[in-house]
Amino acid sequence: MEVASGGVIETASNTANMLNLVTIVAGTTVTVVDDSTLTLTGAITNHGTLALDSSGDATTLAIGANVTLTGGGALTLSDFAENQIVASGAIAASPFTLTNRAVARIRVKSSHRRSAWTIV
């Protein structure tokens, strides 16, 4: 991942990245840029913003194991249907779960179908 000024962390296009057991501090934005993947595993404490920012190519937040999202931050998806939240490596008999706890918000624009994924 690349760190930019102003509390911004963003993936590079056409890359696969991972966050495991991290805290995103207030004022920080972690952006999954167009045509990249960010895999989450473990507990993620989000006091900032985790943003999927597709502009037309597949942009993926992959749940690589059971993940618990806590904190007062936000998970946002830009207004492109190519933003996706998927279980990566899960099998039907043992699916991965994204658990949204505390006051973490998930903001989905109108072009996304909520039936495509499940959040506990």
Domain count, the chain: 1
The arithmetic mean of pLDDT across residues 42-57, rounded, is 92
H helices present in 1-118, as ranges: none
The arithmetic mean of pLDDT across residues 88-100, rounded, is 77
For 24-41, write each residue's pLDDT tens digit. 988 899 999 999 999 999
The arithmetic mean of pLDDT across residues 77-97, rounded, is 82
Which pLDDT does position 117 carry in this prediction? Answer: 46
- pLDDT of 1 higher than 90: no
DSSP summary character for residue 1:
-
What residue numbers bound the domain in which 49 lies? Answer: 2-116
Long-range contacts of 86-91 (CB under 8 A, 24+ apart): 86/60, 86/61, 86/62, 86/117, 87/62, 87/63, 88/39, 88/62, 88/63, 88/64, 89/64, 90/63
pTM comes to 0.83
For 70-80, write each residue's pLDDT tens digit. 988 889 999 88
- pLDDT of 88 higher than 80: no
Q: Quick one: pLDDT band at residue 50, thresholds 50, 70, 90?
A: very high
